[in-house]
């Protein structure tokens, strides 16, 4: 008795898993992942991670594959994308995973995406400042932003690549040149600062970090990171010594991890967690959920600077409302002036990279 046509197709699908590179990677020969889910694909949004094989990208890919709002997950990198794609694709969650390797496949990775998350770039090493990263990561972000402008200009973009204070202005300038810039759709991810602030404050208060909310404004590097400890929820008070210690630790949390890893990496796992948390908030906003508020580094008129991180309300089109700073105490007002001075130079550095 000859196997039926359906049975042959099932056998072919099973056999194809013995050669994941053929199965997973777009543009390769053999059975494609898209053909393996002819019907029954999960409803939701199409998400791309650019830099998916890196230290942040891999755990971020894992976490996004677990998000029930993701129907299609595209994993792009210039190296090792096939392995990460094969690995993540074996998870029994709804999102269909497709991999894309190298510059020639960037456009395919981006076409039709609703949300693009960018952790691409080199990580910080001991002794490295975020400015040291600029020379390398600025060019990477420019290339990826050009791809987004061409292939998915309406996508919401979550930019993680450091230095965020400069890379967000770089992406904005690329989009402006292409005529696709929508300030509501370009968001610098500063969630790790908020996650750290919540955790460190909870330690001092002796409570669960999930019960704490600390607004963190300004930027995403050193003194530009300004936790508003006077606005902590639940309301509480700190001694001047606690304020100094908490502010310093929140501002230098990245350095704390880099030094602890002693050359073996930077804050990749906590960053991936924070990025997934922020992306999930964006997806809930895109779905139409009400009251989705997060801090993010965005085009802003809250200060005289063109970009600034504050609380924003997320919705179907990205940033739908930007909240003011609220009342600041003297310590925070002084910190704000220091943050703005540092931030102005970083923003200009990013703008000049594209314009000059």
Percentage of the chain surpassing pLDDT 70?
88
Q: Does domain 42-188 have CATH number 3.20.20.70?
A: no
Q: DSSP states of 84-122 as a string?
A: HHHHHHTS-SS-EEEEEESGGGHHHHHTT-SEEEE--SP
Record the tokens describing residue 318, joined without a space. 């990205």
Q: State the pLDDT at residue 127.
A: 76
Whole-angstrom distance between the N-terminal and C-terminal Cα of the chain? 72
Mean pLDDT across the chain, nearest whole number? 91
Annotated binding site: 51-57, 77, 124, 130, 137, 160-162, 196, 271
- According to DSSP, the residues that pair with 50 across neighbouring strands are 76
Give, as one character, the DSSP assignment of residue 55.
Answer: T
Sorted by sequence, the CB contacts under 8 Å of residue 298 that are 6+ apart come out as: 168, 183, 186, 187, 188, 307, 308, 309, 312, 319, 322
Give the span between the Cα atoms of 119 and 272, in whole angstroms.
9
Q: Has 220 been annotated as catalytic?
A: yes
The residue among 123, 145, 127 whose CA lies nearest residue 136 is 123
pLDDT in tens, 214-263: 999 999 999 999 999 999 999 999 999 999 999 999 999 999 998 999 98
Which H helix or E strand runs over 192? Answer: helix 191-205
Read off the pLDDT band of 3 (50, 70, 90).
Answer: low
pLDDT in tens, 56-114: 999 999 999 999 999 999 999 999 999 999 999 999 999 999 999 999 999 999 999 99
Read off the pLDDT band of 2 (50, 70, 90).
Answer: low
Q: Across 198-282, where does the E strand assignment appear?
A: 216-218, 225-227
Instruction: Check residue 263 and give left, alpha or beta (phi > 0: left; psi -120 to 50: alpha).
Output: left
The residue written with tokens 């990263």 in the block is 133
Q: State the pLDDT at residue 122.
A: 87
Instruction: Say what angle helices 253-261 and 191-205 make with each other, to 10 degrees.
Output: 90
Q: Domain spans of the chain?
A: 42-188, 190-355
pLDDT in tens, 167-214: 999 999 999 999 999 999 999 999 999 999 999 999 999 999 999 999
Domain covering 190-355, topology? L-2-Hydroxyisocaproate Dehydrogenase; Chain A, domain 2 (3.90.110)
Read off the pLDDT band of 25 (50, 70, 90).
Answer: low
Pairing of strands 186-188, 216-218: unpaired
Tally helices (H) and strands (E) across the chain: 13, 11
pLDDT in tens, 28-50: 434 444 444 434 456 799 999 99
Cut 0.75: pTM above it: yes
Q: Please, what is the Cα angle at 197 between 194 and 203, to 5 degrees?
A: 145
Annotated binding site for NAD(+): 51-57, 77, 137, 160-162, 271
Q: State the pLDDT at residue 159.
A: 98
pLDDT at 265 over 60: yes
Give the span between the Cα atoms of 343 and 245, in whole angstroms.
22
Annotated binding site for substrate: 124, 130, 162, 196
Record the tokens describing residue 127, joined without a space. 């002794």
Q: State the pLDDT at residue 4.
A: 67
**149, 175 Cβ separation under 8 angstroms:** yes
């Amino acid at each position: 008795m000859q196997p039926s046509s359906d049975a042959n197709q099932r056998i072919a699908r099973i056999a194809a898993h013995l050669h994941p590179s053929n199965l997973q990677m777009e543009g390769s020969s053999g059975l494609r992942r898209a053909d393996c889910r002819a019907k029954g694909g999960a409803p939701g949004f199409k998400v791309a991670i650019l830099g998916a094989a890196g230290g942040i990208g891999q755990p971020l890919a894992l976490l996004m594959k677990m998000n029930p709002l993701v129907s299609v997950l595209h994993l792009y990198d210039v190296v090792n994308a096939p392995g990460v794609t094969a690995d993540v694709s074996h998870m029994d969650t709804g999102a269909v995973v497709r991999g894309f390797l190298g510059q020639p496949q960037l456009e395919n990775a981006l076409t039709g995406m609703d949300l693009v998350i960018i952790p691409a770039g080199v990580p910080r090493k001991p002794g490295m400042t975020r400015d040291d990263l600029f020379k390398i990561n600025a060019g990477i972000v420019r290339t990826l932003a050009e791809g987004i402008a061409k292939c998915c200009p309406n996508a919401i973009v979550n930019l993680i690549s450091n230095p965020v204070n400069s890379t967000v202005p770089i992406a904005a300038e690329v989009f402006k040149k292409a005529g696709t810039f929508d300030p509501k759709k370009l968001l610098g991810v500063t969630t790790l600062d908020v996650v750290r602030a919540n955790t460190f404050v909870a330690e001092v208060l002796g409570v669960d970090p999930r019960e704490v909310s600390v607004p963190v404004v300004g930027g995403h590097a050193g003194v530009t990171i300004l936790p508003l400890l006077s606005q902590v929820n639940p309301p509480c008070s700190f001694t001047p010594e606690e304020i100094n210690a908490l502010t310093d630790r929140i501002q230098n949390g990245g350095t704390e991890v880099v030094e602890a890893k002693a050359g073996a990496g930077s804050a990749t796992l906590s960053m991936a967690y924070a990025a997934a948390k922020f992306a999930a908030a964006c997806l809930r906003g895109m779905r139409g959920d009400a009251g989705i508020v997060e801090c993010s580094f965005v085009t802003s008129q809250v200060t005289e600077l063109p970009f600034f991180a504050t609380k924003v309300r997320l919705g179907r089109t990205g940033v739908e409302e930007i909240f003011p700073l609220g009342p600041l105490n003297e310590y925070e007002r002084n910190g704000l002036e220091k943050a703005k001075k540092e931030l102005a130079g970083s923003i200009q550095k990013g703008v000049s990279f594209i314009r000059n």
